[in-house]
Amino acid sequence: MKAVVAVWLSLLLVVGLGTACSSKDSWVEDEVTFTADGLTIHGTYRHLKSNSVGPAALLISESGNTDRNGDNAVVGPVGNMRQLATYLSDHGVATLRYDKVGTGKTGLGPYASHRADVGSAVYTTGAKAAVRFLADQSGTDKARISTYAIGEGTTHAMALATDTDPAAPKIHSLGLLLPLTGRYLDLITGRVNADNALQLKQGSKTQQQADGVLAAWTDAVNQARATGTVPPGQLPDGLSAVLNPSNVKAVVEQDKIDPVAEAQHIPAGTPVLLACSDTDSQAQCTATTALADALAHTALTFVQLKGVSHVLRDDPADNAANYAKQDPLSPQLITALDQFVTK
């Protein structure tokens, strides 16, 4: 289960209507702050120095301790979100990327003394505050705001696109990159079953041991969903790193979100880029078809990448040890973005 833990400790989406910027202008990065329910959020606003009005995109990082740049406390300086921001500015799109609660300069703020209260709703509130900040900038064309997200971040991106608050900025387009494809705990159960099957095949685990791991995990999932608590003691195969007393609130809140159901409420005709990978254990293309079907009413571009890791780079092994190698974004993804950013 080490692979499960590493993967799930490790969200983005680019939308655009962008055009190449003038050589007479230049891009600058400003350190900015905004607030969300008493939490001061730190971010980077990348924009034309002249603040010329144009399209803008909000970038939402992966789950876990992953900051505005995609750097992760577990796997190191990934930098994929910084690369995505640079790509977008090369295509005339300003960006805002930010340190969500618990990461980077934002930290825990008022949640420092009660970390268990940091659930999915807190992350969504932060994303809503971020997109409103972006919409308020003088260089933002409010009719051309997009959001790009990776992994779990895609659920918060979809929450922005389906926000019915009259004051909420309208999301013109949506990039869902290697997204969650189902309820969180169901996805982990799938990984438990897959790991059990592999270890049984290798002879490193008996059927009795495999059944014990699955039973313990299933009991923990049922208890978490029913009561918001976890069983005492450690779960087998390192699964306590995925579900434990300190994160059960956040996990249960996230688990209540069904990405397929959420996708059905995205406004019809919205340009959506949905990207999966055949080697990403979190967003394999075989598991993404239901999400694609739910997005059939949108202007969907469904891209099935080959050998691309969960950090958007070419790596068929999807090895977390390679995440911090600072390789360029996958050329396959760049080709898809080149077409999508003009929509």
Q: What are 179's strand-pairing partners?
A: 151
User: Reduced to 3 states, what is the DSSP secondary structure of residue 239?
Assistant: helix
pLDDT at 16 over 70: no
| Cα separation, 337 vs 229, whole angstroms | 42
| 3-state secondary structure string across 250-301 | HHHHHHCCCHHHHHCCCCCCCEEEEEEECCCCCCCHHHHHHHHHHCCCCEEE
- 259-273 pLDDT, tens digit each: 999 999 999 999 999
- 130-164 pLDDT, tens digit each: 999 999 999 999 999 999 999 999 999 999 999 99
- 28-48 pLDDT, tens digit each: 999 999 999 999 999 999 999
What average pLDDT does range 93-105 have in this prediction?
97
- 189-207 pLDDT, tens digit each: 988 998 999 999 999 999 9
Confidence of residue 254 (pLDDT cuts 50, 70, 90): confident
What average pLDDT does range 57-86 have in this prediction?
95
**In the prediction, which pLDDT does 17 show?**
36
Q: Which of 112, 133, 120 is nearest to 42 (CA)?
A: 133
pLDDT at 22 over 80: no
Pairing of strands 140-151, 94-98: unpaired
Confidence of residue 116 (pLDDT cuts 50, 70, 90): confident
Q: Is 99 exposed, middle or buried (0-12, 13-18, 19+ CB in 10 A)?
A: buried
What residue has token string 């969500």? 100
Q: In 10 A of CB 320, how many CB atoms?
A: 23
Backbone angles phi, psi at 333, to 5 degrees: -65, -40
Q: Which residues, at least 6 apart from 194, have a Cβ–Cβ distance to it below 8 Å? A: none
DSSP structure class, residue 72 = B
Question: What is the dihedral sign for C-alpha 84, 90, 92, 97?
Answer: positive
**In the prediction, which pLDDT does 130 show?**
98
**In the prediction, which pLDDT does 24 show?**
60
Instruction: Enumerate domains of the chain plus CATH numbers.
Output: 10-182+260-340 (3.40.50.1820), 185-251 (no CATH)
- 256-313 pLDDT, tens digit each: 999 999 999 999 999 999 999 999 877 889 889 999 999 999 999 999 999 999 999 9
- 318-338 pLDDT, tens digit each: 998 999 999 999 999 999 999
pLDDT at 9 over 90: no
Q: In 10 A of CB 179, how many CB atoms?
A: 26
| Cα separation, 337 vs 13, whole angstroms | 9
Are 126 and 161 within 8 A, CB to CB? Answer: no
What average pLDDT does range 5-19 have in this prediction?
36
- 227-244 pLDDT, tens digit each: 999 999 999 999 999 999
What average pLDDT does range 47-63 have in this prediction?
95
Q: Is 103 exposed, middle or buried (0-12, 13-18, 19+ CB in 10 A)?
A: buried
Q: Which residues, at least 6 apart from 156, have a Cβ–Cβ distance to it below 8 Å? A: 11, 60, 120, 123, 124, 127, 149
Q: Which residues, at least 6 apart from 17, have a Cβ–Cβ distance to it below 8 Å? A: 55, 144, 172, 173, 341, 342, 343
pLDDT at 15 over 70: no
Q: Which of 139, 141, 133, 177 is nearest to 157 (CA)?
A: 177
Confidence of residue 117 (pLDDT cuts 50, 70, 90): confident
